[in-house]
Structure 1
């Protein structure tokens, strides 16, 4: 039940864990910092029970859907348009960008709708099922090619991609909102994100490495892409069903007070400085990662001269290390704090991308080793950004007393989706500027040295210049849980959890 509103002019109610004593002041209750960045809990109160492994695993299965949809269009849609449907590179970049840019508008709406959903399954899980299955069907439709090749085929892809992006918004936003409601423990949320990113890495490996193989096995061209669309649709459906069924025994969240309008909710989120800093950093870095993904097929064909097996090997080298180093990143985050670990992982990712500028003169084994280094950085960048998000949501909920996780995650997923769409758009623009020649045969045309240089720079230097400087946006990142009433000396008796992840109490 929501607490009654305070009378005008009355002092604010103390946050959890702050007790008022005496007449003229307050004394903060003793606090016990959590292990890695969450609000400290009162001394003597046991921490929340850890989530069962089945909930960790069930929630993580949803990343089969998010990973597949986030990977395959970024990897294959641009070359599908340019090298199979014969769409010019500049127009293809626009067709890839605009449908996902639509999510910038629809994701906050999806978040507000899920916040206000009432059902026996809770506010989020109905969307995992309904929108997840719709996403699977619509994804297969993107590559159905009912109009063959040419301009009409390109227009069909744009419309189908727009519908698929809308379904994805209504799946992803509730899915990303769930961790803040599954547990109040920041350390437990980090473990939950570790499971999720591990499955995400597996989904990227399966969809990114196997999808090109399905295209080849299906006969290349339009026919091969149709089979690939069905394969990825099955993967998405398995992820949606797994997340829906796997979280059935977990806390579902309760419908509490929210701001009365979407505009008011967006204003609250926009005023949250930690969230703004984290979101902007993640959007820019997502664009950098997506630029790498968009260039895999081009890089394999034009730089490594291995269009058949090159994309699969590159993906295996990029994603495989993530499955191995995730426990190491989790320990490093507990030691250094999530923000510091995020910066370290991002710089490692950017350094690896920049080093690949030398790929034309390196042996293939060395190139694959550097790509593996990118994968190590990518794993950490994903897990810590995703672990910091529910901490922001929880801090806002504690500060305002209103549940607006859906709006926070709606803006987050809108930004992420826009970044993932912007990456192929950037790469397509680089190809157009460098004179890349499109083809309607299913096989890439012969390219000039200038076009091959564009392929190289779009895969290496441009992502590095997006990912590394974005870490500067995290400098003002702080968590400020609700301030307690003024202490006798006039200072706020608030606990401040800094971005280093160490909880302290200010007297």
Structure 2
């Protein structure tokens, strides 16, 4: 399981850069897509939220298929790296289409949104899933996995910060008064930039951990193994819940500053404040895991996040300093959860191989991606249902009920999600001593072949 030589800094940084490229898409989608659909594209909040929910649910079911296909890919570059080379340009083209605004009328525009968003998320997954699975086969060493996942999310948060700051400015610069054109050209820019980064990640990485040679190739068996893998099942629900919490706050932030604080320009610094703090928290993950077991650390982080999110309910609309202080504190608390959860997923793939003699790294990460998309879909559905119930009207002053609903989406509702996540982690069993024993057993098996 352990590579002959430690990972080089080039490999750690090269792998991490890939997530910066993915955030050129993901941050635009999670932060700006809903408000693009309602305030620029021209469909109602209910129709947009329903569309996002339906597509996320459908797309979530394609993830295991993509993961199974990646597990069975055999090339001279490995199983997962080729997707970083051949899929980014199609992804860029579809990203531009999704942020285009054709003059098709209400029904035609809604159909266009359904088709282009479904294609965007499917092709995005076909690159992102193999990239995530790659972290499980670059190295089998637990500390090195923490390092590459920390690098990944530091770069990811940096990319998210850049997008949140730059996208509104690019829209204004490239499109002038035509925001629809501005968004189309902005996504063309981000798509090309991401393609360059993915090529760098491809050249920087090597797949070292190989599945057992006699491993069966049944997709049904892979799924059965996952269902009986209790640590993975807990991580599945953890991913769903945490992504739901993050999506609630990220998507609601644009509405919060536009309609509650009445200072929409602050979004360009508010979200980056969180992302920069999260990057700092992520960078501390390898150090934290030297002293605190991953399971205990995750529980503590979720409880801290619950308290901080709840506190946001009591922030006055004019207390900008307190808003930013809580946002930065949340970033520091939630920053380590991403490298922790992805390192845990790699551990669950090791556990699966140790228990069953079979390894399905792509399927392991694909099913987690399924959970993340399901969590995003649930969050968007909650937002759409709440907006519809409270009478949200785009580009107009909101009622007191609508404003209160937006505040709850920024505070109490995501706090409930993270509290549930903390409870789930109490039952997670792959602590450090257990993983050391599992990896020693796997190494002994491989050396005896």
Match of 2:188 in 1: 230
The secondary structure found in structure 1 opposite 2:284 is helix
> Aligned-pair distance for 1:253?
4.0
Larger Rg: 1
For the 8 Å contact 2:59–2:121, the answer to whether it is kept is yes
Match of 2:417 among 466, 469, 474: 466
- Whether 1:277 and 2:234 are equivalent positions in the alignment is yes
For the 8 Å contact 2:212–2:357, the answer to whether it is kept is no
Q: Relative to structure 1, is the Cα distance of residues 256 and 236 closer, same or farther in structure 2, using a 3 angstrom cutoff?
A: farther
- Whether 1:398 and 2:398 are equivalent positions in the alignment is no
Mapped to 2, the partners of 1:284 and 1:235 lie a distance apart of 31
The secondary structure found in structure 2 opposite 1:496 is helix
Match of 1:456 in 2: 407
Q: Relative to structure 1, is the Cα distance of residues 71 and 329 closer, same or farther in structure 2, using a 3 angstrom cutoff?
A: same
Gaps of 5+ in 1: 1-40, 439-443, 482-494
Match of 1:376 among 315, 332, 337: 332
> Aligned-pair distance for 1:408?
0.8
Match of 2:286 in 1: 330
For the 8 Å contact 1:291–1:458, the answer to whether it is kept is yes
Match of 1:353 in 2: 309
Match of 2:251 in 1: 294
For the 8 Å contact 1:136–1:233, the answer to whether it is kept is yes
For the 8 Å contact 1:284–1:419, the answer to whether it is kept is yes
**Deviations, residues 312-357 of structure 1 (Å, cap 9, x unaligned):** 1111211111233334332222211111111222222222222111
**Deviations, residues 346-373 of structure 1 (Å, cap 9, x unaligned):** 2222222221112335521111111111
Mapped to 2, the partners of 1:112 and 1:256 lie a distance apart of 17
> Aligned-pair distance for 1:117?
0.8
- Whether 1:127 and 2:94 are equivalent positions in the alignment is no
Q: Relative to structure 1, is the Cα distance of residues 346 and 398 closer, same or farther in structure 2, using a 3 angstrom cutoff?
A: same
For the 8 Å contact 1:145–1:153, the answer to whether it is kept is yes
For the 8 Å contact 1:64–1:235, the answer to whether it is kept is no
For the 8 Å contact 2:247–2:376, the answer to whether it is kept is yes
Gaps of 5+ in 2: 442-449
Match of 1:104 among 51, 60, 75: 60
> Aligned-pair distance for 1:190?
0.6
Mapped to 2, the partners of 1:115 and 1:426 lie a distance apart of 34
Match of 1:478 in 2: 429
**Deviations, residues 399-436 of structure 1 (Å, cap 9, x unaligned):** 32222111111101111122233322322222111110
Mapped to 1, the partners of 2:384 and 2:200 lie a distance apart of 35
The secondary structure found in structure 1 opposite 2:11 is helix
Q: Relative to structure 1, is the Cα distance of residues 411 and 250 closer, same or farther in structure 2, using a 3 angstrom cutoff?
A: closer
How many pairs are equivalent? Answer: 437
**Deviations, residues 466-489 of structure 1 (Å, cap 9, x unaligned):** 1222221122211399xxxxxxxx
Mapped to 2, the partners of 1:114 and 1:402 lie a distance apart of 15
Mapped to 2, the partners of 1:316 and 1:480 lie a distance apart of 33
For the 8 Å contact 1:300–1:306, the answer to whether it is kept is yes
Superposed CA RMSD: 2.4
Q: Which moved more, 1:349-358 or 1:173-182?
A: 349-358
Q: Which moved more, 1:280-289 or 1:64-73?
A: 64-73
The secondary structure found in structure 1 opposite 2:140 is coil
- Whether 1:154 and 2:105 are equivalent positions in the alignment is no
**Deviations, residues 455-503 of structure 1 (Å, cap 9, x unaligned):** 111122111111222221122211399xxxxxxxxxxxxx73499x9x9
* TM-score (norm: length of structure 2): 0.91
For the 8 Å contact 2:143–2:286, the answer to whether it is kept is no
> Aligned-pair distance for 1:156?
0.6
The secondary structure found in structure 2 opposite 1:181 is coil
Mapped to 2, the partners of 1:427 and 1:421 lie a distance apart of 10
The secondary structure found in structure 2 opposite 1:479 is coil
Q: Higher helix fraction: Structure 1 or Structure 2? A: 2
Match of 1:243 in 2: 201
Match of 2:434 in 1: 496
* TM-score (norm: length of structure 1): 0.81
Mapped to 1, the partners of 2:195 and 2:348 lie a distance apart of 30
Write out aligned runs for 1:442-453 (5 A).
444-453=395-404
